[in-house]
Amino acid sequence: MKRSEQNPLPAFRRAESLSIRGRVFSLAISLLVGGGLALLIFLESYATQAADRAFDRLLAASALTIAGAVQTEDDGVALELPIAALGMLSDSERVFYSVRDASGGLVTGYGDLEATLAPANSSVPVFANMRYRGDEVRIATVGRLLSTGPSIGWVTIRVAETRGARRQLAAEIFQRSALPLLAIVVVALGLLWFGIQRAFAPLSLIEQELRSRAPGDLAPLKAPVPREVLQLTEALDSFMGRLRAVMAVLQNLVADAAHQVRTPLASLRAQAEVMTEETDPVRLRERAGRVLANASHVSLLINQLLMDATITHRLDAQTRDAVGVSEIINDTRRRIGMDGKRRLRIAIAPQVRRARIRGDKVALREMLRNLVDNALQYAPDGEVDIEAQALPGGRVLLSVSDRGPGIQEDEKDTVLERFQRGRSAQGLPGSGLGLAIVRNVVDAHGGSLSLRARAGGGLVVSVMLPLAAPAAAGRAKTGVFAALALAIMVWTTLPQVVQAQANTSTNTSTNASTNTQAKPATPGAPAVPTTADGTLATVPAGLAARGPGALSSELSSVTGPTAAGHVTIYPAPQKNLLDRTVSVAGPTDTVVFTEIARQFQRSWPDVTVVYRELNGFELYREVIAGKLPSVDVLVSSSIDLQVRLANDGYALPHVSRHAEGVPAWARWRTEVFGFTFEPIVIVYNPKRFTPDTVPHSRQALLNLLETQLPVLDNRVGSYDIATSGLAYLLASQDAVVSSNFWGLANALGRAHVHLHSTAAAILDEIESGELDLAYNVLGSYALAREAAGRPIAVAMPQDYVAVLSRSALILRTAPTPEMGRAFVDWLLSPAGQETMAGPAALGSIVPGTSGRWTSESLMAGPHGIVQPIVFGSALLVGLDQQRHARFVKNWRRLVTDSPEASQGYPAKRAR
């Protein structure tokens, strides 16, 4: 026998059945998951604390390093910020610091950093968390006790760092701790499943015994079972006992049916046989009537037997629906002949017209129909009354009354049995099953049945049944509860929605205000000096102040590049409905940027480019003053100022798909991106020096200046670090790397060096023969002129070659940030890098780029150690107010014999 034949349970029932193994396993999974989640929460907390402890040591070391450099000078607190103070911190994080004297005055750093923190009163580091400039930061505070001079007391040093690197370390610790935990959970689940399988193995014995039994074997189970399923087997044995009883009843029913049907069928057959031999028409008609009566009796008996079996099956199935009382009565009336309908009198009380009974509709209908058929049959000349009345306790009374002979008192119990009829039924057709069916239906629905004599003669059969809960009332209650729940939800969430909308509106207006209004100067930020001839020109008629829309409309009439002061406009080669514009600002020469703009428009022909040329210091000053609201992208060789702007929150983060090709030293976070490779070189006049006689190192240049001072007097050029951001960056890097820097600065001063703010001015004097040597010049500009046949030559330093990467960042206040992102992506893309290596001649930084001016070709000749200027927090040290002022002051004393410090870097700056 096939397995499907042995198991009569339908497939859909088997699929929906629950597994004990599954339940136990699910519970175990729930417990393991719950415990695992609790452990994961603990691990997450531990990982955060461990990351904080690790980074707090560096943060404290940075603060202590700054504290160790604090000293008194000129009756005040002085500090030269050590390079290592910020260099030891993560380059991927924003860094802030401040130093205040004992009276609370700002010595250097960010003036608003300690707005809510108390001054230091100990040298032991104290840590705190707070929000600063839109980021979560961790602050270390240490004190330095000064016991001499007028500034006696604790100097407060604070260093703050954003928490991104801490989160990454905490995530790494958490992941490495969580993976073994997950592995243990998986192994535990496997062992648990194996144990469950072994624990349920005895149940297979029961299954095998049941499957091997004959269909009629309903004896109790004999296989030994575990104690845990003993009650289950006892229940199964009890069920099989009940099943044996049901089978016995069915067998008796079949036997009774066979006995009851056999006699009428035999009589019917005998009458039919006699009819075949009868020739008298009168007697033939009489015998035909008897055959018809017997056939009717057999038909009625068979119908009753089938109905009895059908109702028994439906009651066993326990199908329950809400059946209306009126519906039962009306269905019964429709199934009765026209003569019977005329004799029916129906009375339904108003209280039960919409009442419903929880039960089987077919069984209830047949119950009432049997009662009505009996009443109509036993009272052929009288009326039959059907009444439905409400009773207390949620019950209904159905009564069927007739004027027939009734049932004797001693027969009332007998007539309720199957195949039993009263004395008054003698001579009338019937099977004796009608009242038995009625009793079974009433019992199955939890009701009661009574037979009583009717006043004036006749019989009253009363059926009392429980009513179901009113469906309409239930729906009404459900609707009320749903409405109340909805009202509560709306009431509780409406203020939040309103608040969220208000916040959205506020944020929108704030962002709009940020994008359109001038941003206040950063407290504690260096006031960068301006150039003598660096006045910013604006586009005609205040075009920039009117926003990008006005700018685009004005540009529609421009037919070619048009310069207005320091602003150059490159109209889009192709016009379209979008009318897009990208605005760029930086110190790159306009002639060089023209090549960049034109190549960019080959990829974006429908975009107008606006370029604003500004000195590096001036560019920085305009940004922190909020005077460049229409600029999207800053492109500058002063990468220390770019990093400072990004660190102070002026840059918009951007994840570029091309950034991975840029070396790690030429990008900072996701805000500042280097896109050129420009060595810093020595430029010379080929009429004065040859490749063999030109100095190839800083020491050689120092020796040459000291030995041939009269010849080189007034014949050497370089950048002015007081007015050029790039010059200050290169000088500060030289001071860190080379021990000859200050000696070389002194020699340049004795040679009356020519100082300029731009490389173009220096190179022009070399070409004109006014200068013989130029130190620390951008190699990109010099090499381009040399390649063009200009009378200049370039020498790569043999001690070390400083390499600069011109950087780009997107301003947070950019009016069209999407175009800013597109421009930065293009700079880093193969097309942009080929432009740097080709027409722009600035040098491509991405390895593998094709072109003349690639990083590989630029470093192909003899040169010293390549020393790239790394984008990172260490660059912020050189921009410290006191360090910058002291550096420029000493440089001026040596180079220009002028003790004045550069303007814009005061020793202290109030908020």
Q: In angstroms, how far is CA 228 from the centroid of its own chain?
A: 47
The full DSSP string for 330-377 is: HHHHHTS-HHHHHHEEEEE-GGGSS-EEEE-HHHHHHHHHHHHHHHHH
pLDDT for residue 908: 31
Is pLDDT above 60 for 476?
Answer: no
Q: How many residues can be counted in the chain?
A: 911
Phi-psi sector, 435: left (phi>0), alpha (psi -120 to 50), beta: alpha
Whether residue 599 contacts residue 704, with contact meaning beta carbons closer than 8 Å, is answered with no
Q: In angstroms, how far is CA 804 from the centroid of its own chain?
A: 39
What is the rounded CA–CA span in Å between residue 622 and residue 575? Answer: 32
Using 50, 70 and 90 to split pLDDT, how confident is the model at 335? confident
User: Within 789-829, where are the H helices?
Assistant: 817-828
Going by C-beta distance under 8 Å and a sequence separation of 6 or more, which residues neighbour residue 155?
67, 70, 77, 99, 100, 101, 102, 107, 120, 143, 144, 145, 146
For the ranges 67-81, 549-563, 684-698, the one whose mean pLDDT is highest: 684-698
Mean pLDDT of the chain: 80
- The share of the chain scoring above pLDDT 90, in percent, equals 40
279-283, 476-480, 688-692: range with lowest mean pLDDT: 476-480
Average pLDDT estimate for 807-819 = 96
pLDDT digits (tens, 9 = 90+) for 122-174: 899 999 999 998 889 999 999 998 876 666 789 999 999 999 989 999 999 98
Is pLDDT above 70 for 907?
Answer: no
At 783, list the tokens: 């090499």
Is pLDDT above 50 for 496?
Answer: no
Give the DSSP H or E segment for 804: strand 800-804
Whether residue 390 contacts residue 351, with contact meaning beta carbons closer than 8 Å, is answered with yes
pLDDT for residue 209: 79
- The share of the chain scoring above pLDDT 70, in percent, equals 80
Average pLDDT estimate for 222-240 = 79
pLDDT for residue 193: 84
Phi-psi sector, 244: left (phi>0), alpha (psi -120 to 50), beta: alpha
Q: Give the residue among 58, 47, 45, 46 at the shortest CA–CA distance from 169.
A: 47
Cα 472 to Cα 349, 358, 469, 484, distances in angstroms: 18, 14, 9, 18
What is the rounded CA–CA span in Å between residue 698 and residue 718? Answer: 13
pLDDT for residue 539: 35
Average pLDDT estimate for 615-642 = 93
pLDDT for residue 746: 93
Give the DSSP H or E segment for 71: strand 70-73
pLDDT for residue 534: 30
Give the DSSP H or E segment for 386: strand 384-391
Q: Give the residue among 823, 777, 779 at the shortest CA–CA distance from 585.
A: 823
pLDDT for residue 553: 37
Whether residue 358 contacts residue 320, with contact meaning beta carbons closer than 8 Å, is answered with yes
End-to-end CA distance of the chain: 94
pLDDT digits (tens, 9 = 90+) for 737-783: 888 899 999 999 999 999 998 899 999 999 999 999 999 999 999 99
What is the rounded CA–CA span in Å between residue 141 and residue 20? Answer: 61
Is pLDDT above 50 for 483?
Answer: no
Q: Give the residue among 585, 658, 619 at the shortest CA–CA distance from 810.
A: 585
Using 50, 70 and 90 to split pLDDT, how confident is the model at 16? low
pLDDT for residue 545: 32
Using 50, 70 and 90 to split pLDDT, how confident is the model at 593? very high
Is pLDDT above 50 for 518?
Answer: no
Is pLDDT above 50 for 910?
Answer: no
Query: Which residue has tokens 């670090």?
Result: 721
Using 50, 70 and 90 to split pLDDT, how confident is the model at 512? very low
Give the DSSP H or E segment for 666: none
Higher-scoring residue by pLDDT: 177, 469: 177
Question: Number of helices (H) and strands (E), helices first, in the chain?
Answer: 27, 29
pLDDT for residue 839: 93
pLDDT digits (tens, 9 = 90+) for 846-878: 999 999 999 999 988 888 889 999 999 889 998
Whether residue 382 contacts residue 404, with contact meaning beta carbons closer than 8 Å, is answered with yes
Cα 545 to Cα 369, 557, 698, 756, 819, distances in angstroms: 94, 19, 48, 32, 19
Phi-psi sector, 98: left (phi>0), alpha (psi -120 to 50), beta: beta
Q: Give the residue among 570, 892, 574, 582 at the shortest CA–CA distance from 721.
A: 892
Using 50, 70 and 90 to split pLDDT, how confident is the model at 295? confident
Tally Cβ neighbours within 10 Å of residue 464.
18
pLDDT digits (tens, 9 = 90+) for 336-389: 888 788 888 898 998 888 889 988 888 888 888 888 888 888 887 788 999 999
pLDDT digits (tens, 9 = 90+) for 241-286: 777 776 776 666 666 666 666 667 777 777 777 777 777 787 777 7
Is pLDDT above 90 for 693?
Answer: yes
Whether residue 335 contacts residue 369, with contact meaning beta carbons closer than 8 Å, is answered with yes
pLDDT digits (tens, 9 = 90+) for 93-133: 899 999 998 888 899 999 888 778 889 988 999 999 999 98
Using 50, 70 and 90 to split pLDDT, how confident is the model at 533? very low
Task: Give SS3 for 323.
Answer: strand
What is the rounded CA–CA span in Å between residue 317 and residue 676? Answer: 84
Query: Which residue has tokens 């006005």?
Result: 550
What is the rounded CA–CA span in Å between residue 159 and residue 142? Answer: 9
Average pLDDT estimate for 583-598 = 94
